[in-house]
Amino acid sequence: MTQTPSYALDRHVLVSAVWLPGGFVALGLLHHGFATGAAGWVLAGFGAILACFALHVIVNAALGAHFTPQEVALSFVLYAVAGLALVLAVLLQPGFAEQFFLPVALGMAGLAAGVIFYLVTRWGARGAFAQFDIIRDNNPRKSSELPHRGGRS
């Protein structure tokens, strides 16, 4: 499908319609969980983020699109910031590790597992790895010179 400006705008509106309300729900659940000390609400916040991701995948499938490089970069940055915030909170906040480390670590592991599940179901195990295999992309040999990597010969 050709990407017209109207198509790109429609996709952007649909993705925003998923993430804006879902993001506010996730932030509210996380805030409530951290404010009250309830680990279940923290896990529910991560569940809301996973639900938004699943809806984003559905939007992409319905429109025949893929995640844009900007969306991928934003997700990596936000995940890294969340990981850094977890480490800093464990080190600097008294009592955080005892009360919140497990639910936050499980939530972040769930997000990573969701992305890996998406990659494997979308591209297959080998294809998912190939999405990150920059060494092969930089190999100056032609593909006909590379050893055969298909099924049985």
pLDDT (tens digit, 0 to 9) for every residue of the chain, 153 residues total? 556 778 888 899 999 999 999 999 999 999 999 999 999 999 999 999 999 999 999 999 998 888 988 998 999 999 999 999 999 999 999 999 999 999 999 999 999 999 999 988 887 877 777 766 666 656 565 555 555 554 444
* Residue 150, domain member (yes or no): no
pLDDT of residue 110: 96
Q: Dmax of the chain from CA atoms?
A: 61
CA atoms within 13 A on the CB side of 4: 4
pLDDT of residue 140: 61
pLDDT of residue 112: 95
pLDDT of residue 130: 72
In angstroms, the CA 52 to CA 147 distance is 41
124: left (phi over 0), alpha (psi -120 to 50) or beta: left
* Residue 89, domain member (yes or no): yes
CA dihedral for 121, 122, 124, 130, sign (positive or negative): negative
What is the pTM assigned to this prediction?
Answer: 0.80
Tokens 């995940």 found at = 79
Those residues with Cβ within 8 angstroms of residue 11's Cβ, 6 or more apart along the chain or in another chain: 59, 63, 65
* Residue 143, domain member (yes or no): no
* Residue 108, domain member (yes or no): yes
Closest among 61, 83, 79, 81 to 71, alpha carbons compared = 79
* Residue 146, domain member (yes or no): no
* Residue 13, domain member (yes or no): yes
* Residue 64, domain member (yes or no): yes
pLDDT of residue 153: 41
**Total domain count for the chain?**
1
pLDDT of residue 139: 59
**In angstroms, how far is CA 27 from the centroid of its own chain?**
16
pLDDT of residue 144: 56
pLDDT of residue 127: 74
| Residue 82 structural domain | 5-138
3-state secondary structure of 60: helix
* Residue 147, domain member (yes or no): no
